[in-house]
Structure 1
Amino acid sequence: MTNDRQMIKIGDVIKKTMLSRATIYRLVNSGKFPKQVNMSDRSATWLKDEVEEFIEDKIRSRYASNDDSFKKL
């Protein structure tokens, strides 16, 4: 694991995903969204690459049910 991973705060996660804070935490608790990294008792961050992968998975999934050829890309 590298030490140069970029961390983002909840505001950036909300902007990237366009999900509400409550929805993000609900998805985290259900295991459907990357878990936050607690930097302190009052500060949580997310790994930017994990959030971006979540978004990419959502984009790919919209094609999976309609077009099997997309899986080959």
Structure 2
Amino acid sequence: MKLIKLKDVMASTGLGRSTIYKYIEDGKFPKSVSLGCRAVAWVESEIQDWILERIEERDLQS
């Protein structure tokens, strides 16, 4: 299991910081993992799965 930082999540998804945190708040995005006092990261496979779900949703609408 690999953890990735916010910068990498933003690069992978194309989403901005505030959008990512809003989606988390709304239950629409994987939650971060606390690494300490002011550090968080995300499980890379959860982010990849979230991206694949968006692709599947797109393909179902076609």
> TM-score w.r.t. structure 2 length?
0.96
Quote the residue 1:70 is aligned against: none
**Cα displacement (A) at 1:41:** 1.8
Asked whether 1:26 is paired with 2:22, we answer yes
Q: Which of 31, 39, 44 lines up with 2:40 in the alignment?
A: 44
Runs of 4 or more consecutive aligned structure 1 residues displaced over 3 Å after TM superposition: none
**Cα displacement (A) at 1:26:** 0.3
Quote the residue 1:69 is aligned against: none
Tell me the matched-pair count.
62
Looking at structure 2, the residues matched to 53 and 33 of structure 1 have their Cα atoms a distance apart, in angstroms, of: 10
Quote the residue 1:35 is aligned against: 31
Quote the residue 1:12 is aligned against: 8
**Cα displacement (A) at 1:65:** 1.8
Asked whether 1:55 is paired with 2:51, we answer yes
Structure 1 alignment gaps of length 5 or more = 67-73
Structure 2 alignment gaps of length 5 or more = none
Looking at structure 2, the residues matched to 29 and 40 of structure 1 have their Cα atoms a distance apart, in angstroms, of: 20
Name the SS of the counterpart of 2:27 in structure 1: coil
